[in-house]
Amino acid sequence: MRAELELWVRAVIGRAYPRIVGATREKSWLFFDTVLPLLGTAAYVFVYRAIGAPEAYIGFVVVGGAMTAFWMNVLWSMSSQLYWEKESGNLGLYIAAPAPMMAILLGMAVGGLFYTSLRATAVILVGSLLFGVHYALGDFGLLLLTFFLTMAALYGMGMLFASLYLLWGREAWHISNLLQEPVYLLSGFYFPVRHLGFWVAVAASFIPLTLGLDAMRQLLFPVEPTLGFLSVPVEVGALAGLSVLFIVAARYALEYLERLAKREGRLTERRG
Amino acid sequence: MEEPLAIRTEKLTRIYKIREGKGRRKKKRELVALDRVNLEVQRGELFGLLGPNGAGKTTLIKILTTLLSPTSGRAWVDGLDVERDMREIRRRINMVSGGETSGYGLLTVQENLWMFAQFYGLDRWTARRRMDELLEMVGLVDRRHTKISDLSTGLRQKMNIVRGFLTDPRIIFLDEPTLGLDVGAARQVRSFIANWLKGRPDRTVLLTTHYMVEADELCDRVAIIDHGQVLACDAPARLKRSLGQEAIYHIRVSLLPSEATHGFRLIEGVRQFTPRFHDGHVHLDFILREDDVLTAVVDRISRSGARILSLEKREPTLEDVFIDMVGRGLTEEHPEE
């Protein structure tokens, strides 16, 4: 049992390592991943200022802008990761290794999360200084829990997508393109999600960022309580449910994928 | 208790369903990659699978490394069933393929090796000790801190070899490990494999190759495989001795009309014949029932208008054995591909 757990942990650390090292080895991201996302965020800041929206909206936009980094990472990197591993010849070696694929996939998620957290933190810091955002944080523990659950659910969804994308092959690119903008809208990256209307917001809540962002904004900017969609405890509970749902679904999808790979013999083969 | 065989297969069959054509004309057809293969590999053996591209070698390796299910039949690795005991088999084996591009370009050789070691649960000290030993053996010590994106093909394949042996597997599968390497690098890899096995009598290597020299030089026993079937299985020397009665000639000619080549097979006593165009000349390999048949062969070459540039009688090679069994050379294209 202990040996199994040790193998799990080693596999997670081993696979997370390339991403973590990547952040320190190629420092160009500091410019591209901080300045460029801020441009989009700045546009919304100027719009809200021009129409005289409450000052909390500026904070909403900066936090939303930082969180888009996680969505982009899950959509463009995590989801297509197994497909790229296949193309680079790693997937067969991963499957043939004794470490569970779930641990290796989790390692990819942890590495991506670490790398993206640096980017998001940079956006928050620079954005907050630049636009003079005032936070009124009351419960840091709850904020941390909300963030953790949001990430667990989001990267769980990414892990599920990773298996599905591998099954769909090259066509997966189109799915990423298709999902990117609607999720920007539905998750309320740049506005409070309750403005979408109750039922649309409920449907959008299956995207973990929707509830995560909404809860974090309520915790960071409590001066405008009417802007929240649901209460924070309800949103945190829903996020916990989504985390379990996506992680369990990812595990079964991986098992199915491995069975299919063995049966058809094509999923570990590169396309010429 | 008697130790189980390292590898055993029993009527192992793999059939691929292939879709061909486009749109409404798309058709499914079946390709038999392995056809009732029975093999027994002893513990401690360096066993070779020799066959042309598409013969079924890689399919067999994929089944034995638990990456592919057989359509029918069974296989055991280290006494464990490949279908039922996957997890346990994976702890005991490793694999390296020729032309492998695994790993991450921004990591160094050492970091990549460490990462793969983690997937086998190796602690830092064991991984480091083995890495030092293996990098030294393949002559890659001075490149341990080089990013793998900066390595040449040969050096990268050496790193792959180290990756495979790093976990000290009980059975290692090497699928065309010297594919695409220059002569020097291929020799170093072969030498490494032979040295690794010295002093490890309980370890087994299964090597697939279509380089006869490799199989001849390295393997204790060789199975000749074609169209998914094992045609022969024995020690290289014994396989070559099976051609002892035949005369093997290599003739280099200036030019030969293509219609002339067809006639050679009709000469009584010509058991096999393969032509090859290389370096601006035509190379003809003959397996003759006896030396006397050569007269008729030379006569036909002269009548075709070609000029004989050289003629040599030589000892049989594994390729001759293959040609004798299959009727074509190892490097000739497989009709299924």
Q: How many CB pairs below 8 A link A and B?
A: 88
Give the distance from residue B289's alpha carbon to the nearest chain A alpha carbon, in angstroms: 43
Would residue B64 count as lying in a domain?
yes
B46 and B165 assigned to the same domain:
yes
A126, A30 contact by CB (below 8 A): no
**Does the beta-carbon distance from A11 to B118 stay under 8 Å?**
yes
Of B62, B100, B104, the CB nearest to A265: B62
- For B125, the 3-state DSSP assignment is helix
How confident is residue B335, by pLDDT bands cut at 50, 70 and 90?
very low
Residues 51-70 of B with CB under 8 A from A: 59, 62, 65-69
A172, A83 contact by CB (below 8 A): yes
Weakest mean pLDDT among A42-46, B49-53, B182-186, B324-328: B324-328
Q: Over pLDDT 70: what percentage of chain A?
A: 94
Q: Which one of B115, B116, B165 makes the best mutation probe of the A interface by having the most chain A beta carbons within 10 Å?
A: B115
A67, A189 contact by CB (below 8 A): yes
- For B235, the 3-state DSSP assignment is coil
Q: What is the pLDDT of residue B28?
A: 80
Would residue B256 count as lying in a domain?
yes
Q: What is the pLDDT of residue B76?
A: 97
Per-range mean pLDDT, top range of A56-65, A142-151, B99-108: A142-151
Partners of B94 on chain A (C-beta within 8 Å) are: 96
Q: What is the pLDDT of residue A191?
A: 81
B208 and B288 assigned to the same domain:
no
- Using alpha carbons only, give the angle B263, B267, B269 rounded to the nearest 5 degrees: 145
**Phi, psi of A110, rounded to the nearest 5 degrees:** -65, -45
B214 and B309 assigned to the same domain:
no
Mean pLDDT score, A2-29: 87
B9, B75 contact by CB (below 8 A): yes
Mean pLDDT score, B272-293: 83
**Does the beta-carbon distance from A14 to B102 stay under 8 Å?**
no
Our count of domains for chain B comes to 2
B117 and B263 assigned to the same domain:
no
Q: Among residues B4, B9, B120, which one has the least CA distance to residue B63? A: B9
CA–CA distance from B310 to each of A146, A220, B265, B283 (Å)? 82, 88, 21, 10
Average pLDDT across chain B, whole number:
87
Does the pLDDT of residue B203 top 70, yes or no? yes
B122 and B251 assigned to the same domain:
no
**Tens digit of pLDDT for each residue in B64-88?**
999 999 999 999 999 999 999 999 9
Q: What is the pLDDT of residue B320?
A: 81
B154 and B22 assigned to the same domain:
yes
Q: Among residues B279, B222, B272, which one has the least CA distance to residue B248? A: B272
B39 and B147 assigned to the same domain:
yes
Of A18, A26, A104, the CB nearest to B104: A18
* ipTM field: 0.85
**Does the beta-carbon distance from B66 to A26 stay under 8 Å?**
no
B256 and B111 assigned to the same domain:
no
Q: Among residues A33, A74, A61, A69, which one has the least CA distance to residue A188? A: A61
Q: Which one of A27, A262, A267, A268 makes the best mutation probe of the B interface by having the most chain B beta carbons within 10 Å?
A: A262
Q: Which of B190, B217, B240 is the last residue in one of the domains?
A: B240
Weakest mean pLDDT among A27-36, A192-201, B195-204, B220-229: A27-36
- The number of residues making up chain A comes to 272
Comparison of pLDDT for B275 and A5, the residue scoring more? A5
Q: Which residues pair with B325 in a beta bridge?
A: none
Q: Which of B240, B258, B287 is the last residue in one of the domains?
A: B240
What CATH number is attached to the domain comprising B297? 3.30.70.260
Of A3, A21, A97, the CB nearest to B119: A97
How confident is residue A153, by pLDDT bands cut at 50, 70 and 90?
very high
d(CA B281, CA B254): 5
Partners of B90 on chain A (C-beta within 8 Å) are: 96-98
Handedness of CA B2, B3, B6, B8 (dihedral sign): positive
What CATH number is attached to the domain comprising B188? 3.40.50.300
Domain encompassing residue B204? 7-240
B49 and B192 assigned to the same domain:
yes
A15 → chain B, closest CA residue: B115
B148 and B162 assigned to the same domain:
yes
Weakest mean pLDDT among B41-45, B50-54, B127-131: B50-54
d(CA B114, CA B104): 12
Give the distance from residue B297's alpha carbon to the nearest chain A alpha carbon, in angstroms: 43
Note whether B90 contacts A: Cβ–Cβ < 8 A.
yes
Q: What is the pLDDT of residue B336?
A: 34
Other C-beta atoms within 10 Å of A105: how many?
28
Would residue B336 count as lying in a domain?
no
Per-range mean pLDDT, top range of A33-42, A260-269, B207-216: B207-216
Q: Which two tokens stand for residue B137?
A: 């053996």
B163, B102 contact by CB (below 8 A): yes
Mean pLDDT score, A87-99: 90
**Phi, psi of B64, rounded to the nearest 5 degrees:** -70, -25
How confident is residue A272, by pLDDT bands cut at 50, 70 and 90?
very low
Strands B46-50 and B204-209: parallel
Give the distance from residue B301's alpha carbon to the nearest chain A alpha carbon, in angstroms: 42
Does the pLDDT of residue B11 top 60, yes or no? yes
Of B111, B114, B119, the CB nearest to A104: B119
Give the distance from residue A5's alpha carbon to the nearest chain B alpha carbon, in angstroms: 10
Of A18, A96, A104, the CB nearest to B90: A96
**Tens digit of pLDDT for each residue in B324-334?**
787 776 665 44
Which residue intervals of A172-207 are DSSP H helices?
A: 172-186, 198-204
Would residue B81 count as lying in a domain?
yes
Q: Which of B196, B217, B240 is the last residue in one of the domains?
A: B240
Weakest mean pLDDT among A101-115, A179-193, A247-261, B190-204: A179-193
Would residue B321 count as lying in a domain?
no
Does the pLDDT of residue A172 top 80, yes or no? no
B68 and B188 assigned to the same domain:
yes
**Does the beta-carbon distance from A96 to B117 stay under 8 Å?**
no
Q: What is the pLDDT of residue A269?
A: 64
Of A7, A94, A104, the CB nearest to B121: A7
